[in-house]
Amino acid sequence: MKRLLNTLYITQPDIYLSLDGENVVACKGDDVLMRVPLHNLESIVTFGYTGVSPALMGTCAEKGIALSFLTMNGRFLANIVGMERGNVLLRKTQYRISDDETSSRDISRNILIGKLHNSRWVLERAVRDHALRLDEVRVRRAAHMIADSIQSIRCAESLDTFRGIEGEAASIYFSVFNELILQNKDAFFFKGRNRRPPLDTVNALLSFTYTLLSHDVAAALCSVGLDPFVGFLHRDRPGRRSLALDMVEELRSPLADRFVLTLINNRQVSADGFVKKESGAIIMKDETRRNVLSAWQERKRDKMTHPFLKEKISWGLVSHTQALLLARYLRGDLDEYPPFLWK
């Protein structure tokens, strides 16, 4: 079991990172703002970019510390990858299965069953906990329709059919997402999913959180020796971490979406923490971004019982656990890939 460590987030664009012994040092001009021991870190994420010393990049690669570069708006730019871990036979199996649609279909089916199951239960739990504060009939109907989509996925025979069913189910899920927003509805309202750029505060939070989740999943896949760029449901595209996007699907609703809803419903974010650009894009102010990152780290420390392992782990370890289970399936240790089925 991989121990959950910390992620260092650099949110200011004028910070330079360097190595001093076994410490990462964050400097602004000639001033040292922070010194963090490397052994306390699992990954480093920088928003904006002033620079990172070659010595630090090399040490991160050697120690398996994920180092990712994102724009200030959270768009992925690049990451530092060290020597591949794990048995080369594992990656060759991954590539072979990715090239075969039938084999990819079996893994993709389970991933999407996990995604739709989790989306359904986010809605079911909202009805259970807040029936008097939302349109119960509408939300329950959407949950039942998503349950029907799961049965359709079980019977489908092609990746294209999977994508069509998943797209329709996602549309149903997001059609009632605004019902789950119980506070600050004048500032936080959801009319539909939009991105690149996000055009409202809710989509800004969702896109940013999905980026954080994708980073965590990609790091987890690398840690078990898998290639995050070679997927099964998401096909190859230069620069796209297709397998990371595959694995994110199961965790979007129970981890990322519920996290965003908690931020809004607990009034941890406010409307004045966002800025609207001339293009119509909505972005977070620096203070809001820092608050969201802090809350995200806290969320990953919360405990839950893994549905397959039946063990109590932190939410931050779920991506590592699913990566490990996928690797075990590819090695032939499991009969099928067990998706994350939250309830």
Q: Taking the model in full, what pTM does it have?
A: 0.81
CA–CA dist 223, 286 (Å, integer):
30
258-305 pLDDT per residue, tens: 999 999 999 999 888 888 888 888 888 888 988 998 899 889 889 999
CA 206 centroid distance within chain: 10
User: Which residues are 45's β-sheet partners?
Assistant: 9, 68
For residue 150, is pLDDT > 60?
yes
152-184 pLDDT per residue, tens: 999 998 889 999 999 999 999 999 999 999 988
CA–CA dist 308, 59 (Å, integer):
35
Mean pLDDT value across the chain: 87
Instruction: Identify the band that residue 85 occupies on the pLDDT scale cut at 50, 70 and 90.
Output: low
Q: What share of the chain is helix, strand, coil (3-state, %, to 5)?
A: 55, 15, 30
Token pair recorded at residue 9: 């987030």
Largest CA distance in the chain: 62
Instruction: Identify the band that residue 1 occupies on the pLDDT scale cut at 50, 70 and 90.
Output: very low
Element (H, E) at 324: helix 318-331
CA–CA dist 124, 39 (Å, integer):
41
20-74 pLDDT per residue, tens: 889 999 888 888 888 888 887 877 878 776 788 999 988 888 887 878 787 766 6
Scan for tokens 């699907």, then name that residue.
Answer: 249
CA distances from 14 to 29, 53, 229, 237, 327 (A): 8, 14, 30, 32, 39
Instruction: Identify the band that residue 185 occupies on the pLDDT scale cut at 50, 70 and 90.
Output: confident
